[in-house]
Amino acid sequence: MHFKQYLSQRITNRQTVLLLLFLLLLTVSFSTLAKPILTLEQAEKIALVNEPGIISQQWQMESLSAQSVADGQLMDPKLQVGLNNLPTDTFDFDQENMTQFKVGIVQQFPSGDSLNIKQQKTEKQSELFLSKISERKLSIVKDIRLTYLEIYYWEKARSTIKQNKRFFAQLVNIVQSMFSVGRNNQQDLIRAQLELSRLDDRLVKITQKINTQRSKLSRWIGSQYSTQTLSAQLPVLSISEISEDFETLSQLFHNHPKILEIDKKMEISRKDIQLVRESYKPGWALNVGYAYRDNNQNGGSRADFLSAGVTIDLPLFTANRQDKKLLSKEHKYQSLKDKRVAMLRQLIANLQQEVANEEQLHNRHQLYNKLLLPQAKQQTKASLLAYQSAQGNFSDVMRAYIDDLNVKLDERRIAVDHLQSKAKILYFTSSFGKSESQ
């Protein structure tokens, strides 16, 4: 009876242990499955949400938008209060006929339509930040893509070297076994061990580069996301066919934020020219006053006075003021026109250069996939077989292994460089066909 109870208790304990092990494995599996993966698209979205630079520019835009309303208003009227013609012998208010207490209002009116033009200028300054915000978003997305892809390359390089390190370790074992039976010399063994140590050094350097790039990425998305594991697959970046005609590209680049920014500055400069031209017209001010007089000393009443006057500016001497100011604004406008042409040429040249670079990288990537990778692998196998059969030397084997590793790393480097080139092209072409409001 006691034996049955003991056996039953042992079975129960075993079931409990198995259940706990199952729950532990399940927890580990769920934690592995739930490990967050950072894709390029997610990184871009995170970077653009609540980005301080963009928010700062939005506040500046709102500030100028509010300021434009204020700039379109007349100046506040001025109140004048005075005591005129008070006799100094008695200081009696009712002694003299001309003694009066005067209250007046002065309102100034700017020259021509300068008030409306000034309001329009401030509105254009506010709209300028739309271009600045668009350009900043394009720059951030480009930096995110370049940094993300750079991290991807170095992590793939580390994985490739770790994988090849196992092959080098196997090679060391082969050399040791052959050395033990006297089929090679100690130099081969030392060379194999040296190359294996060099791989460890390369891994340390690669880890340093990964940490540097992840720190750079954290500037945009924060350390919480920059340390997450990247997607195992290369992201896809699609670019459309781009015309080689300069005039066609010039038309397409009219919607690029850098060109739109200069266009807005030119509009602001034109408003400055209009303001100077309005200054040739006279400004004026209206003065209306009411003067109160007390009764005379005999009790007789005195009439109060009402006065009105106009003050007019006389812009007669314009040679050294208005003329020079107008000339200055016109020169500034011409400078912006030339700057726009220079910027357009620079953008087109950079795009054409990057398109040519992307095409060459595409061709090189195909060459590596079709020829160099298979040839490097065949060379490694052939040299090792020749060495094991005493028909080759160890230097050829090491050179083949190192070449195979370098070809794999070069193929990954070219694949990443190809995508990075596409990211740079998208910086130029993302605005093609879009208006500034979009």
pLDDT single digits (tens) 350-402: 999 999 999 999 999 999 999 999 999 999 899 888 877 878 777 788 888 88
Residue 262 lies in a domain: yes
Structural domain count of the chain: 1
The answer to whether position 35 is within a domain reads no
Residues composing the chain: 438
User: Concatenated DSSP letters for 256-283?
Assistant: SHHHHHHHHHHHHHHHHHHHHHHTTSPP
Cα separation of 42 and 44, whole Å? 5
Structure tokens at 92: 């009696």
Q: Which domain holds residue 404?
A: 42-74+110-280+315-429
Q: The whole model's pTM is what? A: 0.82
Per-block average pLDDT, block size 10, for the chain (438 residues)? 48 57 56 71 92 94 94 92 89 85 93 93 95 95 96 95 84 73 69 85 95 95 91 90 85 92 96 94 93 84 90 88 93 96 95 95 96 93 84 81 92 96 93 50
pLDDT of residue 297: 76
Per-residue pLDDT of 286-313, as tens digits, reads 999 999 988 887 777 888 989 999 999 9
304 close to 291: Cβ distance less than 8 angstroms: yes
- 8 A C-beta contact, residue 398 and residue 184: no
pLDDT, the chain, mean = 87
Is the Cβ–Cβ distance between 147 and 216 less than 8 Å? yes
In a domain, 18, yes or no: no
Q: Is 308 left (phi over 0), alpha (psi -120 to 50) or beta?
A: beta
Q: Is residue 25 part of a domain?
A: no
pLDDT at 247 (0 to 100): 86
Q: Which of 212, 214, 62, 217 is nearest to 140 (CA)?
A: 217
Answer yes or no: are the C-beta atoms of 281 and 315 closer than 8 Å: yes
CA dihedral 331, 337, 343, 344 (to 10 degrees): -170
The sign one gets for the Cα dihedral 204, 207, 212, 213 is: positive
Flag whether 90 is in a domain. no
CATH number for the domain harbouring residue 154: 1.20.1600.10
Residue 145 within a domain: yes
Q: Would residue 79 count as lying in a domain?
A: no
Strand-pair partners of 310: 286
* Residue 331 lies inside a defined structural domain of this protein: yes
